[in-house]
């Protein structure tokens, strides 16, 4: 039998790209990273709102794509960004700047727009060309490209714009959280500006993640350190590290250098994937410490070496203090929770409460006659795998609330899930409604 084409399940892209399509936080970081990789200096985002019938939109002034480049990149499922375009990207014609290290590797980020719209229109300009293409999916084809228009010559400018089309999903990730997330990842280079709903994202958007300190470098001046803590380690060190600014201009790339790993991190990779530090040391320019192309500092320059050493020592202490405070906080929370839990337990010798009948196993006929297991609801057979309104504690016993997630890391999602389940419990219309909350 001759095989002419491959068949795709309608969930293929979700399975292949994972959170890039299903999680708004992951999706928006990937899309902004794509703009960075295109050497954009300005990015404009319109956050979708189904109630206002407002579609998602992201545009940049980066390199853009020719029609041929777009067709190749979008149609190649396992596109390898590094082998096709290299690990760095140079600025477009007419734009000054050093080559940037790119974030993208496997090309999956191009599917992120499906997180914000059921389909989208992409417009791109490069080398005098401009094309407009509709990108959508069908139950049997994970990616369908339909060209709307094409101009082969005479188009000025460069850049790419993606606009949602079709159904607008109900995005539970608020624009304020998007601003905070983007700010925590992309504020390290002052030449890369991102606007969301018309307003530039600044350090003011990350007040809960940001702290400031200063270091006196004897004989030279003060260096100011902005400390961004994303509160949890990412999968990689991308968008993390140590960035140096001199007179509001970035010197080199934001990353952890070998010296930083040795003097600051001491092999702690989780911290490397969590923290970003921006150091402002304007006096270094007056001491001729910056290389002529601004790609880095001059090794052997006394001002630079004394500043680097002082800053590294300060950052090492900041990370240690942050980690210690977090450890102490977790320890106190555990002690408090265990103490509260123990206080809710009765003395077994004085007060025991029977397991509810509907939760008891009934291996014998007598137990069945006594209503053991009667009315038991198997959660996996219920909608969403949750038996809304079901009661698991003994009658008359209020829910002690053994676990309360904190607003940090994965527990933010757990907290939202628990709120959803509690709402379903409250809405359940059962003959024996729960006497306490589900937790």
pLDDT values of the chain reduced to their tens digit, one per residue, 439 residues: 455 567 777 778 878 888 888 899 999 999 999 999 999 999 999 999 999 999 999 999 999 999 999 999 998 877 877 777 788 899 998 898 889 888 877 778 888 999 999 999 999 999 999 999 999 988 888 889 999 999 999 999 999 999 999 889 999 899 999 999 999 989 999 999 999 999 999 999 998 888 899 999 999 999 999 999 887 767 777 778 899 999 989 999 898 988 888 888 876 677 888 889 999 999 999 999 999 989 999 999 999 999 999 999 999 988 888 777 666 666 666 666 666 666 655 555 445 678 888 899 888 888 888 889 898 898 888 888 889 888 888 887 777 676 778 777 777 888 888 888 888 888 885 544 444 333 3
CA distances from 228 to 187, 189, 205, 278 (A): 10, 13, 12, 8
β-strands 193-196, 249-255: how paired?
unpaired
In the DSSP assignment, the letter for residue 409 is T
pTM confidence score: 0.69
Query: CATH: 3.10.450, 3.20.170, 1.10.150, 3.30.230. Which one for 209-329?
Result: 3.30.230
Phi, psi of 250 (to 5 degrees): -70, 140
CA distances from 39 to 1, 32, 188, 390, 392 (A): 48, 11, 15, 55, 56
With respect to CATH, is domain 12-200 assigned 3.30.565.10? yes
* Domain locations in the chain as residue ranges: 12-200, 209-329, 377-427
Is 12-200's fold the same as 209-329's?
A: no
What is the number of other CB atoms lying within 10 angstroms of the CB of residue 15? 11
């Amino acid at each position: 039998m001759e095989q002419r084409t491959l068949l795709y399940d309608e969930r293929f892209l979700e399975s292949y790209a994972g959170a890039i399509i299903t999680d708004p936080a992951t999706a928006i970081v990937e899309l902004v990273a794509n703009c960075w990789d295109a050497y954009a200096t300005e990015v404009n985002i319109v956050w979708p709102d189904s109630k206002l019938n407002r579609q998602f939109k992201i545009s940049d002034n980066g390199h853009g794509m020719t029609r041929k480049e777009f067709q190749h990149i979008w149609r190649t499922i396992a596109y390898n960004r590094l082998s096709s375009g290299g690990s760095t990207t140079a600025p477009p014609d007419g734009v000054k700047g050093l080559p940037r290290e790119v974030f993208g590797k496997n090309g999956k980020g191009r599917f992120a727009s499906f997180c914000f719209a059921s389909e989208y229109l992409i417009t791109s300009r490069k080398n005098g060309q401009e094309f407009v293409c509709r990108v959508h999916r069908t139950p049997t084809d994970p990616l369908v490209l339909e060209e709307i228009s094409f101009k082969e010559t005479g188009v000025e400018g460069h850049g790419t714009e993606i606009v949602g089309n079709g159904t607008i999903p109900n995005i539970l990730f608020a624009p304020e959280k998007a601003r905070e997330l983007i700010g925590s990842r992309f504020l390290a280079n002052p030449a890369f500006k991102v606007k969301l709903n018309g307003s530039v994202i600044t350090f003011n958007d990350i007040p809960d993640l940001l702290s400031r300190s200063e270091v006196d470098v004897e004989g030279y001046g003060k260096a100011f350190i902005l400390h961004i803590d994303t509160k949890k380690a990412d999968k990689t060190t991308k968008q993390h590290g140590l960035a140096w600014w001199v007179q509001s201009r970035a010197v080199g790339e934001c990353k952890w250098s070998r010296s930083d790993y040795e003097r600051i991190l001491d092999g702690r990779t989780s911290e490397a994937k969590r923290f970003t530090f921006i150091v402002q040391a304007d006096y270094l320019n007056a001491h001729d410490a910056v290389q002529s192309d601004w790609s880095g500092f001059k090794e052997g320059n006394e001002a630079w070496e004394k500043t680097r050493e002082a800053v590294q020592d300060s950052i090492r202490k900041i990370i240690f203090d942050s980690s210690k405070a977090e450890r102490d906080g977790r320890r106190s929370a555990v002690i408090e929770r265990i103490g509260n839990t123990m206080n809710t337990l009765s003395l077994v010798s004085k007060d025991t409460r029977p397991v509810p009948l509907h939760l008891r196993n009934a291996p014998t006929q007598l137990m069945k006659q006594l209503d053991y297991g009667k009315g038991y609801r198997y959660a996996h057979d219920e909608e969403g795998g949750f038996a809304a309104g079901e009661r698991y504690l003994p009658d008359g016993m209020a829910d002690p609330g053994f676990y309360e997630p904190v607003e940090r890391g994965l527990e933010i999602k757990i907290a939202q899930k628990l709120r959803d389940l509690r709402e379903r419990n409250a809405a359940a219309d059962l003959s024996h409604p729960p006497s306490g909350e589900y937790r």
